[in-house]
Chains A and B, each alone.
Chain A
Amino acid sequence: MDFSVAFNAARDALPYMLGGVVWTAGLIIGAMLLGLALGVPLSVLQVYGPKPVRRAVSLYVWLFRGIPILVQLYIFYFGILSWLSTLPGLTSLGLDSPFVAAVLVLGLTSSAYQSQIFRGAIQSLPPGQLKAARALGMTDAQAIRTIILPQALRLSIPAWSNEYSILLKDSALAFTIGVVEIMARMRAIASTTHEPVSMAFLAGIIFFVLTWVGVKALALLENKVRIAGYTRQGAA
């Protein structure tokens, strides 16, 4: 292997590969936010909801954790979204876009995982917190919004940064339905330059930097919202 040829190929490919970062970042941000928006209410319903609702949430979580993302991408992109986009009134929404399908699949899967992160955090809070809020005359909704979630979300940040790094790596599967993110660009350029290994190294470095930046950013957030003297129960 000629290292100078490989290095030059990687250097020349860098701008094109970095173009994929925009798509990857879009996938991650969209999926994390969708996962958060669905994961928080799902966790609340799973802890405080009536039994049938708790069961329904449990089924949802099992479903999205149990089916591989690749399979889901095919089901949503070639099946559900493709069919929905043909319905009157929905044709102009762009539901048949591979990017929309990928954000949806990654976001729904992430919501299942995130709901379990938040559920664990809620259940780790002392039960007296909800009791005290009720004793002050708060409704359950007020107590959950004002007392439970602000604490549970703070406690969730370390596990949430783990979810970010997993999601980032899962996003590479979006190339299979045509999203031109980092992985798709790596494959395309590798086939034209015949330098698959150097392109894989380059993609690996970009994924690593994205992971590092995201995890560090979440660590900063964790420090920013940390409460003086307060640690998760059982933590040092």
Chain B
Amino acid sequence: MPDLTAAASAETAPSDAILEARGLFKTLGGNRVLDSVDLSIGRGRVKVLIGPSGAGKSTLLQCLNFLMPPDSGHILLEGREVDKRSKKELCAFRQQVGMIFQDFNLFDHLSALENVRVALIKVKGLSKLEATERAVAELARVGLKDKATLYPANLSGGQKQRVAIARALAMDPKVMLLDEPTSALDPELIGEVLAVIRDLAQGGMTMIMATHQISFSASLADEFLFMDKGRVVEHGSPAELLGRGSSSRTQAFCAKISELTGEAGDGAAGECRL
């Protein structure tokens, strides 16, 4: 049986970890939204954060690249602690930790190509020509080469999210953080984004993803981390947490989602089991 109660993930030894978080605390509006969260992920691994709304999944992801600075705790990239007080170091760190947002956050005044290109020019210092070549390649990778000149307002939700993924990939991140990348999409647009995420995982991209796409993420993830009230209350492989005979909270939560969305086929709770 896996250790279903430990908050810390012991699966990745510190020396193998590409990104580590130790003892993260965060309080917002008097509420403790992260409560001593530890997490570490090895190269090429995929971890999936699941849990109810308000559990702290998005906050954790945003704390991991200091978009929301944690009140206390340490974050290490390849074993080296990030000094959040140094703006230069913070910017360099963020280039290596790509972030995908629930609502895409594309720059509305820039075309798809310019969205992908802008940070390559401004942050990486590439020439316009080099940046354009790279941006076109990244858009091709997510199947949007022919949409390069379109502005975000003229793209579908799925296309916007794929541009956002291309934009993050162009920075050559070592880790990708995905914050519910499909939750703002119409059901018929989810598949195209999930396909891109699957390709990334199969290509060896290290990813931490918050999602409610249980079946999809179970087929992809090395580990599920179930969060509730700011803590990682269970962790283990999808097979361990969702397998037959499991009485984990993760299993119960996933069964509820399946019931509501019918994600696992006929909507029966038992379909969530692997």
Q: Footprint of B on A, CB under 8 Å?
A: 126, 128-129, 131-139, 142, 146-147, 150-151, 154, 227-230
Contact = CB atoms under 8 A, between A and B. Distances in A.
B94 interface: yes
Interface string B13-43: 0000000000000000000000000000000
Contact of B101 (A128, A138, A142): A128
A135 B103 contact: no
B123 A230 contact: no
7 contacts: A129-B108, A132-B105, A132-B107, A135-B99, A136-B95, A136-B167, A228-B150
A227 B152 CA distance: 10
Contact of B171 (A129, A134, A136, A147): A136
Given A128-B103, A146-B122, A227 B95 contact: no
B223 to A, nearest CB: 24
Contacts of B95: 136-137
Given A126-B103, A128-B101, 11 more contacts: A131-B67, A132-B106, A134-B67, A135-B101, A136-B94, A137-B95, A138-B119, A151-B107, A227-B151, A228-B150, A229-B151
Contacts of B119: 133, 136-138
B99 A142 contact: no
B113 to A, nearest CB: 14
A230 B103 contact: no
Contacts of A154: 109
Contacts of A136: 94-95, 118-119, 123, 167-168, 171
Interface centre among B92, B108, B123, B171 (most CB of A within 10 A): B108
B98 interface: yes
A146 B65 CA distance: 21
Nearest to B123: A137
Contacts of B109: 147, 150-151, 154, 227, 230
B123 to A, nearest CB: 4
Contact of A131 (B87, B101, B168): B101
A94 B108 CA distance: 46
Interface residues of B, number: 30
A154 B153 CA distance: 15
B82 to A, nearest CB: 13
B55 to A, nearest CB: 20
A132 B163 CA distance: 13
A226 B94 CA distance: 31
Contacts of B98: 135
A147 B106 CA distance: 10
Contacts of A139: 87, 91
Nearest to A143: B122
B202 interface: no
B153 A146 contact: no
Contact of A134 (B94, B118, B151): B94
A147 B123 contact: no
Contacts of B183: none
A165 B150 CA distance: 35
A129 B65 contact: no
A132 B109 CA distance: 14
A129 B118 CA distance: 13
Nearest to A228: B151
B108 A151 contact: yes
A7 to B, nearest CB: 51
Nearest to A137: B95
Contacts of A134: 67, 94
A228 B87 contact: no
A219 B104 CA distance: 31
B153 A229 contact: yes
